[in-house]
Amino acid sequence: MSKLTVLEHPLIKHKLSIIRDVNTGTNEFRKVVTEISQLMCYEVCRDLELEEFELQTPLEKTTGYRLSGKKLGLVPILRAGLGMVDGMLMLLPSAKVGHIGMYRDHDTLKPVPYYAKLPADVEERDIFVLDPMLATGGSANDAITELKNQGCKSIRLINIVAAPEGVKAIQEAHPDVDIYVASLDRELNQDAYILPGLGDAGDRLFGTK
């Protein structure tokens, strides 16, 4: 079974409360999502592999460290996942960025794919799938399946807010994919929105209704 990690950092909790607030406007919502994503990136990358090398400081030689594992890739699920990219790239500037487009059919509540553009060497990279919300898990499940079809073997899912139903769906469909969230919320409502949640992340990021 894949591992679920809830990031209990005080700064993440503080900033999450800001984006939950119905009175938070688009500009601040977008800025704080970027900040949360950066904080989450720091935690998600704790186990990345390092190698030692000899480093010359202004005074003497010492041991330095650099990332030595596979190259990294960020794959936001369009469109809300775009809001998490800048925060991640602040700490991982050399990561390649792919995109997978999904929207939810409001009648069936099922994800509908419409776009996929991935780095040519995506199968050689450790992939971070980004989406602020993990509700039913349908979009994330389809995105991960597409990445596996492209040969990806190391995939992590990063969400700001998740519902237990979505976590269960991913763990059952993709037991090899670890999940990192800022909050595990209570449940989904009848329209498959997360409670207490933060509304529609895409609409709040981009000012659409």
**Set 5, 20, 86, 200: catalytic member:** 200
Contact criterion met (CB below 8 Å) for 203 and 26: no
**Exposure string over 150-186, b if 16+ CB within 10 A, otherwise e:** eebebbbbbbbbbbeebbebbbebbeebbbbbbbbbe
Check if 176 is active-site.
no
**Set 57, 62, 63, 108: catalytic member:** 108
- The pLDDT, as a whole number, for residue 85 is 97
Per-residue pLDDT tens over the stretch 121-172 = 999 999 999 999 999 999 999 999 999 999 999 999 999 999 999 999 999 9
- The pLDDT, as a whole number, for residue 105 is 73
- The pLDDT, as a whole number, for residue 1 is 73
- The pLDDT, as a whole number, for residue 189 is 95
**Set 66, 203, 204, 208: catalytic member:** 203
> Could you say which DSSP state residue 68 is in?
-
Residue ranges of the binding site for 5-phospho-alpha-D-ribose 1-diphosphate:
79, 104, 131-139, 200
Distance CA 43, CA 5 (A): 10
pTM for the whole structure: 0.91
- The pLDDT, as a whole number, for residue 108 is 74
User: For the domain 4-206, what is the CATH code?
Assistant: 3.40.50.2020
Question: What single letter denotes the amino acid at residue 193?
Answer: Y
Residue ranges of the binding site:
79, 104, 131-139, 194, 199-201
- The pLDDT, as a whole number, for residue 71 is 92
- The pLDDT, as a whole number, for residue 36 is 97
Check if 108 is active-site.
yes
180 vs 112: which has the higher pLDDT:
180
Say which residues have a Cβ less than 8 Å from residue 103's Cβ, sequence separation at least 6.
111, 112, 114
Nearest one of 12, 2, 11, 25 to 161, comparing CA atoms: 12
Distance CA 32, CA 1 (A): 32
Residue ranges of the binding site for uracil:
194, 199-201
Contact criterion met (CB below 8 Å) for 90 and 78: no
**Set 57, 104, 156, 186: catalytic member:** 104
Contact criterion met (CB below 8 Å) for 45 and 91: yes
Per-residue pLDDT tens over the stretch 73-107 = 999 999 899 999 999 999 999 999 999 997 777 77
Report the length, in residues, of the chain.
209
- The pLDDT, as a whole number, for residue 109 is 65
Per-residue pLDDT tens over the stretch 17-71 = 999 999 999 999 999 999 999 999 999 999 899 999 999 999 999 999 998 878 9
Distance CA 202, CA 25 (A): 13
Check if 125 is active-site.
no
